[in-house]
Amino acid sequence: MFLPLLVSLFGIANVLAVNFPWEEIQLTDAETQDYPEIRFGNDKNDPPARACRFIPGDDEWPSDQAWAKFNETLGGVLLKPLPLASVCYTGPNFNSTRLCREQHTCANDPTSIHSLWPSGNTCVPTSNPNETCSQGGFPVYVVDARTVRHVQLAVNFARHSNIRVVIKNSGHDFNGRTMGGHSLSIWVHNLRSTTYFPEYVHSASGYTGKAVAYAGGTTTADVSPLMSSNDAAIFVAGGQTVGIAGGFLQTGGHSPYTSLYGLAADRVLSIQAVTADGRYVTANKEENADLFWAFRGGGGGTYGVITSVVVQAFPIPISAQGSITFSTVGSSAVSVETFWKGVKAYWSYCVAICEAGGLGYNFIRHATSGSATGFTFQTTITLYERTEAEYRNITQPLLQELNDLGIKRHTSPSMPHSILDPSPNTPSLHPRAPGDLVGNTLMGSRFFTRANHASPSALEEMNNAIRHFVEDGGYTFHGINHAPTLEAASFANNSVHPVHRSTIMHAEGYAGDAWWSGQAPVLTPSERTAAHNRLQEYMQGWRDITPGGGGYLNEGDAQEPGWKEGHFGDNYDKLRGVRRAYDPWEVFYVVGGVGSDEWEIRDTNGVGRTGLVSQDGRLCRRG
């Protein structure tokens, strides 16, 4: 009964929305008449608002018989999975032959997510099988959605039963937005279909040209062959296992092409989704236009469950790429002062890189060589639709300035280069198993704009803030140089953070032990809060020089101070209005999402939590 990945090619298409075969399988009003718990939402048949979501142990929690009936209605796709790391513990799921530290399956597991700490660390990889493993922040039940009907049933059942709902795509999230304790999870990872249109005529937007339709669970790896074989690029995530219709698209979605073509949210033609009332809807510039606006940049997991999208495609750009590396340790070491002068020199050329339609992808990491410790800067510069000669001409002033400082480690540009065939040596946030390794990450994000690059004094101020973060804080720095301007965007009337439009560098900072090693101690809630507070103290230096600015929620901190302005900017009030209109029941909740400040996580005894909040408690309304 399960549908495989569907890939099809069509000629000219003139449609407002594309339905895959499994999207035609929908819940009908007739089916719900004798089953009140799965009826569509309206003011007449929905129960009154409750102060808290029900959890197992409450008298109102559905009985085993109710869950069995629900599973039968679903056709057997209701799961009750144990946490992924339960194989490490004595019990029915124990597997002594499995290396439980190698948690490489967050995309393919129904509950596991990219970063473990939001679960409450109640079931972590361990070498001691006699420790304790509990469900914690992982959902109790999961609907393994294979059709629109599955999604509709899950939304309706949870709404009527007053159960917390979470939406999990591939689980690549650093903040726990795809998990929740005592919840019903809608797992869309197996909604996997793609369709390529050589010439797509979209009347709602007036667009005619190449397009791709892909399903809600489609990953970068799913569409890469389609792009290569049809010379049709679309915006995809860097990790091959990342679901590209989830938080990636719904929070903006940057890619190597961002300086040329904007963000993923700028290229969406139409969205198919299930909203909080359980209805299957189309959202585009003409139909449900306010929902269409919110879906494209306003954050994932908040406005509905996306089942498919249609996006513009464009010819794959040719490119030239080269890299620069220098360090304070090793055989070619430079002094610490020269190092930071070299870093500042690079910052001074980032506007030119972006205006040339390029991408800068850089890291400042702590490094060791023998007994010596220090720092290493590494950047890859990629320019699109440029010849090798043009690449040399654009980058030569930067290389000359570095040479004058005594920094000579850089590579000659290579051509052609395609993001569809990434080099294994390309620097990455993911040193092992890109996009698929379970970690334990605390991180922050900030947009450094043109204003931060506009003068020598502004560059010095930015360089000092980053230096303080790395040297004194002991953190790792990651910068992505791109410029998703309104001019680069196609359909920029969306809810992308307005400050992102003037960005030259999307900057991230995180602890060096971001990835689960199996050796680091599991932190208590108070220790996690202390670590979070310390990170934010050092992030404050970035906020101080970017007043009124923001950051990228997908790769930032959902619980940072001033998160409304930081992650949504001036769009917040309008986004809150859209959410009220489409979800008056408050079915969808994610930490750091629009409207999330009206809810809180409490201990099961009803006591509200403070500090860095994990998702292993009861979800309740504030007040």
**pLDDT category of residue 15 using cuts at 50, 70 and 90:** very low
pLDDT of 312 above 50: yes
Task: Taking residues 534-553, report their average pLDDT.
Answer: 98
Q: Rounded distance, CA 120 to CA 165, Å?
A: 18
Conformational region of residue 182, where left means phi above 0, alpha means psi within -120 to 50, and beta covers everything else: left
Q: Record the tokens describing residue 237, joined without a space.
A: 């995530």
The better pLDDT of the pair 164, 104 is held by 164
Q: Record the tokens describing residue 337, joined without a space.
A: 């002062």
**pLDDT at residue 129, rounded to an integer:** 85
**pLDDT category of residue 219 using cuts at 50, 70 and 90:** very high
Single out the residue of 126, 118, 123, 215 nearest to residue 175, CA to CA: 118
Q: Rounded distance, CA 459 to CA 597, Å?
A: 35
Contact 513, 520 (CB under 8 A): yes
Instruction: Tell me the CA distances in angstroms from 295 to 117, 185, 241, 305, 497, one per residue in order.
Output: 27, 20, 22, 10, 13
**pLDDT at residue 130, rounded to an integer:** 86
Q: Rounded distance, CA 176 to CA 532, Å?
A: 15
The full DSSP string for 189-214 is TT--EEEEEEEEEETTTTEEEEEEEE
pLDDT of 12 above 60: no
Which residues fall within 8 angstroms of residue 577, CB to CB, at 6 or more apart? none
The full DSSP string for 268-332 is EEEEEEE-TTS-EEEESSSSSHHHHHHHTTS-TTSS-EEEEEEEE-BPPPPEEEEEEEEESSSTT
pLDDT tens for each residue of 373-407: 999 999 999 999 998 899 999 999 999 999 999 99
Chain length of the chain: 623
**pLDDT at residue 428, rounded to an integer:** 37
Phi, psi of 538 (to 5 degrees): -80, -30
* Gyration radius from the chain CA atoms: 24
**pLDDT at residue 437, rounded to an integer:** 52
Distinct helix (H) and strand (E) counts, the chain: 14, 19
Which residues fall within 8 angstroms of residue 110, CB to CB, at 6 or more apart? 79, 81, 142, 144, 168, 185, 187, 189
- CA angle 16–17–21, rounded 5-degree value: 150
Q: Rounded distance, CA 267 to CA 271, Å?
A: 11
Which residues fall within 8 angstroms of residue 330, CB to CB, at 6 or more apart? 367, 369
Single out the residue of 417, 229, 204 nearest to residue 310, CA to CA: 204
Tell me which of 117-131, 157-171, 192-206 is least confident: 117-131
Which H or E run includes 6? strand 6-9
Task: Taking residues 43-59, report their average pLDDT.
Answer: 87
Single out the residue of 146, 147, 195 nearest to residue 7, CA to CA: 195
Q: Rounded distance, CA 550 to CA 336, Å?
A: 30
Which H or E run includes 365? strand 359-369
Q: Rounded distance, CA 434 to CA 423, Å?
A: 12
Single out the residue of 359, 393, 333, 401 nearest to residue 258, CA to CA: 359
Residue with the two structure tokens 């009527």? 160
Single out the residue of 519, 567, 538, 371 nearest to residue 465, CA to CA: 538
Q: Rounded distance, CA 491 to CA 487, Å?
A: 10
- CA angle 527–554–248, rounded 5-degree value: 145
Q: Rounded distance, CA 394 to CA 412, Å?
A: 13
Instruction: State how beta strands 183-187 and 164-168 pair.
Output: parallel
pLDDT of 604 above 90: no
Which residues fall within 8 angstroms of residue 20, CB to CB, at 6 or more apart? 6, 193, 195, 213, 215, 308
Which H or E run includes 124? none
**Amino acid in position 460:** E
**pLDDT category of residue 125 using cuts at 50, 70 and 90:** confident
Instruction: State how beta strands 443-449 and 476-481 pair.
Output: unpaired
Task: Taking residues 264-280, report their average pLDDT.
Answer: 97
**pLDDT at residue 422, rounded to an integer:** 39
The better pLDDT of the pair 322, 518 is held by 322
Contact 205, 490 (CB under 8 A): no
The better pLDDT of the pair 93, 186 is held by 186
Instruction: State how beta strands 193-202 and 6-9 pair.
Output: parallel
Task: Taking residues 231-254, report their average pLDDT.
Answer: 95
C-beta neighbour count of 11 within 10 angstroms: 8
Single out the residue of 61, 53, 67 nearest to residue 141, CA to CA: 67
**pLDDT at residue 105, rounded to an integer:** 58
**pLDDT category of residue 13 using cuts at 50, 70 and 90:** very low
pLDDT of 171 above 60: yes
pLDDT tens for each residue of 201-214: 998 899 999 999 99
Contact 192, 8 (CB under 8 A): no
Strand partners, 308: 215, 272
pLDDT tens for each residue of 352-363: 999 999 999 999
Q: Rounded distance, CA 6 to CA 195, Å?
A: 8
**pLDDT at residue 520, rounded to an integer:** 60
Q: Which domains does the chain have, with CATH numbers?
A: 318-417 (3.30.70.100)
The better pLDDT of the pair 545, 435 is held by 545
- CA angle 287–289–295, rounded 5-degree value: 115
Which residues fall within 8 angstroms of residue 278, CB to CB, at 6 or more apart? 27, 38, 39, 40, 41, 152, 153, 155, 156, 159
Average pLDDT of the chain, as a whole number: 90
Task: Taking residues 465-487, report their average pLDDT.
Answer: 97
pLDDT of 571 above 80: yes
pLDDT tens for each residue of 113-122: 888 899 999 9
pLDDT of 107 above 80: no
Task: Taking residues 306-310, report their average pLDDT.
Answer: 98
Evaluate the omega torsion of the peptide bond into residue 434 and state whether it is cis, within 30 degrees of 0.
Answer: no
Angle, to 10 degrees, between the axis of helix 336-348 and the axis of helix 388-404? 150
Q: Rounded distance, CA 53 to CA 385, Å?
A: 53
Q: Record the tokens describing residue 250, joined without a space.
A: 């719904």
